[in-house]
Chain A
Amino acid sequence: MQINEATVRKIAHLARIKVTDEEAKSLETELTSILEWVEQLNEVDTENVEPMTSAVETAVKMREDVVTDGGYAGRIIRNAPKSDDNFFVVPKVVE
């Protein structure tokens, strides 16, 4: 699978990472070589194989749907680069 620069830019935008022209070029080569290397998985016949969903077979744990924690907005907001009155502050999204 050949990845071109346009694809690198597309996935970088999806991943919300700005890439320079230089980075896009080297990522083009690196991602292509990694993807070519993983192609070997096509040698494995997985026709009737279920995908692994958990490492150890176990029933999903159930619990009561109740609030068990919370009530400390100040502690949660404390690490925010920008906050105001227990709210996270982000650039304006609605004009």
Chain B
Amino acid sequence: MNDLLDLTIAEARQGLDNGDFSAVEYTDAHLKEIEAANKALNAFLIVTDEKAQDMAKASDERLAKGEAGALEGIPIGVKDLFCTKGVRTTACSHILDGFEPPYESTVTTNLWEAGAIMLGKLNLDEFAMGSSNETSYYGNCVNPWRRDGDDTILVPGGSSGGSAAAVAANLCPAATATDTGGSIRQPAAFTGTVGLKPTYGRVSRWGVVAFASSLDQAGPITRTVEDAAIMLGVMASTDEKDTTSIDIPVPDYLEEMKGKLKGLKVGIPKEYRVDGMSDEIAALWDQGIEWYKDAGAKIEEVSLPHTKYALPAYYIVAPAEASSNLARYDGVKYGLRVEGDDIISMYENTRAEGFGAEVKRRILMGTYVLSAGYYDAYYLKAQKVRTCIKKDFDEAFKKVDVLLTPTTPSPAFAAGEISGDPLEMYLNDILTVTVNMAGLPGISVPAGMSSTGLPLGLQLIGKPFDEGTLLRAAQVIEDASGELPAPARWWS
């Protein structure tokens, strides 16, 4: 076991500043670990080792000159949904075969400008559509966690499965991820990592392959709450290139985290006790409530009556927006092209071969609900329900500062266990999707272990642009749950 790999971002920054080790050494340790583990985990699709070493050397020079950025010398994995200049970007779809973006996303630009080092591109569900990383064209990503005494392969969750698995297995201290219906928080819960989905508009979507534009938001997966604060501080910005990015200055999240906890009002939404929630998840939730009481917070039950409608509304809004966004993949501008007799058959052949089953299903669902005569009945209705969901939260946040819920109804499941039934797979997002529908920030924090030895997460939901309070509250769970085990390194 290499100690460098266990360091959090905060610890590594200290070590680099002190000269305990160099950015090159720190980066090489991660590249070596990726080499050893990736065959088993399939978290990284591409390892940009030469680029990483060059960036690490440049970091060491800046460190020597005392010009270190907030993430100076920190190696990071990038979900393969972020465009990276000259480095293949696929969204894990066959249809983007060989695509090398001529530009860099705003989020990754922010990271490199702060001194971070790119290790490579990470696995995900195709176009971020999935909750198990089983729809990737490049194969399943594997959860570093296994049940006690059982070597069944488990999914890392999705869509940011590669990001979560890589961080959990110490292949990188942090990774970028995106969340449209739970794609940061659910994999974080399945892998014992911290996953933060910021307020819609806090982080630029420019250069991130679009899935559902009114729901997509990028955020970090890390091993600690403090690291999530450091990452968000760099990833967040206002961006002229994204008209939905909001002109609010990025606060100092580390400073905002330091505030007092006493008197914090924590809401418990009663509708989140959903059917099928396991007893141990319900018990973990109760444990979480006790932790907040012990920390001096006030607990209050709140009601979010439209909760059960968030998921069906999501499965109208997200496919509708996806069908529109994915119209650009036509075999003309980039990626795969399958010839046909004429231009229409070229389009149809290209998209038939280029998209996987789940992506096709969602495009067709979206095309149907937007087609003539159905727009009002489906899309407009869903957007009205969305207003109802948002109003529920507005009411709750008049009384409380944050909401506490479980992140998922169950721990990580086995590969193939529920991939046969799309509706059953969709239910994985039942506790996370409301947050995207209302545009709020949410975070999943490791809080305990299942009876089978798997990590479990609790979710906190915050007010718009109040990530500071969210992070401060999240620290309570991290502190109270104490040192949780790390996955057994069965892959080495």
Contacts and interface: CB of A to CB of B under 8 A. Distances in A.
3 shortest interchain CB distances as A-B pairs: A55-B439, A51-B383, A81-B337
Given A40-B312, A44-B309, A46-B385, A93 B343 contact: yes
B378 interface: yes
Nearest to B306: A44
B354 to A, nearest CB: 9
Interface string B347-391: 111011001000011011101100100000010111111111010
A18 to B, nearest CB: 4
Contact of A38 (B316, B347, B361, B388): B316
Given A11-B367, A52-B383, A54-B244, 14 more contacts: A17-B363, A18-B345, A34-B422, A41-B316, A41-B381, A52-B386, A52-B387, A56-B465, A61-B247, A79-B98, A79-B99, A81-B331, A91-B342, A92-B342
A67 to B, nearest CB: 14
A90 B352 contact: no
Interface in A57-80: 58, 60-61, 63, 72, 75-76, 78-80
Given A41-B381, A46-B385, A80-B333, A12 B364 contact: yes
B360 A17 contact: yes
B201 A55 contact: yes
Nearest to B201: A56
A51 B343 contact: no
Band of interface residues on A:
35 or more
B388 A49 contact: yes
Interface of B: 98-100, 102, 199-201, 214, 240, 243-244, 246-247, 306, 308-309, 312-313, 315-316, 323, 327, 330-337, 339-340, 342-349, 351-352, 355, 360-361, 363-365, 367-368, 371, 378, 380-388, 390, 422-423, 438-439, 464-465
Nearest to A49: B384
A92 B344 CA distance: 11
11 contacts: A8-B364, A16-B347, A19-B360, A23-B360, A31-B365, A34-B422, A35-B368, A38-B378, A49-B388, A51-B387, A79-B100
Contacts of A50: 384, 387
A86 to B, nearest CB: 13
A34 B200 contact: no
A32 to B, nearest CB: 11
Given A79-B100, A81-B332, A91-B342, A31 B383 contact: no
A52 B321 CA distance: 14
Contacts of A93: 342-343
B246 A58 contact: yes
Contacts of A37: 312, 315, 423
A6 interface: no
Interface string A22-38: 01000100110111011
Nearest to B354: A17
A91 B340 contact: yes
Contact of A27 (B246, B312, B361): B361
Contacts of A91: 339-340, 342-343, 346
A15 B352 contact: no
